[in-house]
Amino acid sequence: MPTATATLSVSFAPSKKPHLSFCPFGATSITLTNFTSPPIRRPMTTSAVSIEKETVISERPHTFLRQTDGEDNGSIRSRFQSMILEMQESVCGALEALDGAGKFKEDAWTTPGGGGGISRVLQDGAVFEKAGVNISVVYGVMPPEAYRAAKASAADQKPGPVPFFAAGISSVLHPKNPFAPTLHFNYRYFETDAPKDTPGAPRQWWFGGGTDLTPAYIFEEDVKHFHSVQKRACDKFDPSFYPRFKKWCDDYFFIKHRGKRRGLGGIFFDDLNDYDQEMLLSFATECADSVVPAYIPILEKRKDTPFNESQKAWQQLRSGRYVEFNLVLD
């Protein structure tokens, strides 16, 4: 079966700021029940966005940043790219060590004007049915009406298209054992380019992301462990973060027609730019670093639990909620 790759999707509504999420490209090569992308809220009308076509490459480059951005100039762009590359390495390494048999297959891609990504998929391992950990760096142009909706000041609005930069990491992890929970996480950064005639910071920027747990069978000690790790990460920066972002996660992943949440939650935030930029970069990094200690201890306890066909069928039904949630938002 062809190896699946992924890219970063950016959708725009005239009255809303851009919404970032990862979605598979070459989607016919993957099964939705085993590997799905984070949801994309599609408005009734969208504005066109210009992103260059991807080209698959045989070896990953040192950086996906444009030369004008500098490879390691201390910018938020550069440091966020470094963070997601390091996170992909650490998460994939931890998952391979736990699985013991499966190995991640990697695809890399670039675009002519800068940007690109790395898709990693582990399939049919000893522990994981399918696990994907993908990163993307994207340059594009957004329509002016989308930029005007993105909290831009009146003095900084221009009639023409607005260049933007987006980067992120996204993952869905599906274990084989029905007593081992599915995990989803993604962390992302978005900014618009500063006007060419104005030096300094970007005109707009924000962070988003989160980590959430979806078990087929609930173990209270697992839920407590998972949420305690999320809370510790949040509390290092602001005691209001955990209750605020936990509720946001509960509300976001709510399947309205069922009156139920998709899983047992975690944390979720989006369009976050009302704090110091350096603080939020550190916060996103801390959240990313908490994925392995939040998830791996649970898998170590549950991966070898005996199960029967009925329990496996229930897991597959629960996994379908990922697809159902995405289709409801389409």
Summary mean pLDDT of the chain: 81
Instruction: Provide the residue type at 176 as one letter.
Output: K
For residue 198, pLDDT over 60 is answered with no
- The reported pLDDT for the residue numbered 31 is 27
pLDDT of 34 strictly over 60: no
Quickly state the pLDDT bin for 60 (edges 50, 70, 90).
confident
pLDDT band at 73 (very low <50, low <70, confident <90, very high): confident
pLDDT of 330 > 70? The answer is no
The reported pLDDT for the residue numbered 325 is 55
Average pLDDT over residues 217-226: 96
Percent over 90 (pLDDT), the chain: 57
**Residue 53: pLDDT over 70:** yes
Chain segment 291-324, per-residue pLDDT in tens? 999 999 999 999 999 999 999 999 988 877 665 5
100: tokens are: 């013991």
Return the pLDDT at 70: 66
Q: Is residue 26 pLDDT above 50, yes or no?
A: no
Q: Of 166, 167, 88, 168, whose CA–CA distance to 131 is shortest?
A: 88
223-271 confidence digits (pLDDT tens) = 999 999 999 999 999 999 999 999 999 998 877 777 777 788 999 999 9
Nearest Cα neighbor of 109 from 124, 101, 120 is: 120
Helix (H/G/I), strand (E/B), else coil: 147: helix
Active site residues: 184
Residue whose entry in the numeric block shows the structure tokens 């650490």: 90
Band (286; pLDDT cuts 50, 70, 90)? very high
- Contact (CB, 8 A) for 18 and 10: yes
Model pTM score = 0.82
Judge contact between 109 and 37, C-beta under 8 A. no
CA neighbours closer than 13 Å in the CB half-sphere of residue 322:
25
Distance CA 7, CA 234 (A): 28
Q: How far from the centroid of its chain's Cα atoms is residue 188's Cα? A: 6
